[in-house]
Amino acid sequence: MIPVCFSTDHNFIMPTGVAIQSMLKHTRRRDFDVIILSHKSVTEQDEAVLSEIVGRYGVQIRFLKMDNTFDCAFEIRGITASTYYRLLLPWILPEYDKVLYLDGDIVVMGDISELYSMDLGDCYVAGRKSKDVATLDMKTYVENLDLDYDKYFNGGVLLLNTKLIRQDKLKSDLLAQAGKKYTFQDQDILNIVLKEHIMNIDIKYNYTPSAHLKWGRLSENIM
């Protein structure tokens, strides 16, 4: 079983549905456990929309209504508190040793089971080095967080070693950081707390069109 998790509120249902459909369309395996971490604004109609999409592929979907833990978390650039839900995935899904997390604003263009099959070893997370932001000196920003710029990862496509994160009891560290006002919210928090155990993944697993042009033509097995 491949657990794949998304976080959403009512306003993000449409792009999340697109992301899920693209994932199912390009992955041969059908043993998915699609988990939606739902904000209280998600309606029964919203759930029906996503259920209909996965139903076309005979795949399981679950909706987990989240509590108010992050209701007062810092929001910026229109990114709501639901983005913080991924911080608690190791404890929300204790039955899994590793979990794939995907943002709802991506389009999957290859077989995602390849990423899930990676051996994480003693790493807490596998992610792709974050791209630069035109309006921000990212190197200075990251170094001001006391982080290594070359290891700072984007939070949109992650393979989490949930077993090891639970084993090392990092929940309190993650929640302690959640009360702070970071520009990149939970992405910064994950980089800060997990910084000693990070695996960098190939750019094909997480890129933007501008990155695609910069790095040249990739294989068709991309997402």
Question: Domains in the chain, start-ordered, CATH in brackets?
Answer: 2-215 (3.90.550.10)
pLDDT value at position 139? 87
For residue 212, name the pLDDT band (cuts at 50, 70, 90): very low
- The model's pTM: 0.89
When comparing pLDDT for 34 and 75, which is higher?
A: 34
Task: Give the separation between CA 110 and CA 193, rounded to whole angstroms.
Answer: 30
In the block, tokens 């795949």 appear at 59
Burial of 125 (0-12, 13-18, 19+ CB in 10 A): buried
pLDDT value at position 80? 76
Q: Evaluate whether 115 touches 168 at the Cβ level (below 8 Å).
A: no
pLDDT value at position 213? 46
The count of other CB atoms within 10 Å of the CB of residue 10 is: 15
CA dihedral 217, 220, 222, 223 (to 10 degrees): 110
Task: Using the predicted structure, report yes or no on whether residue 220 has a pLDDT greater than 50.
Answer: no
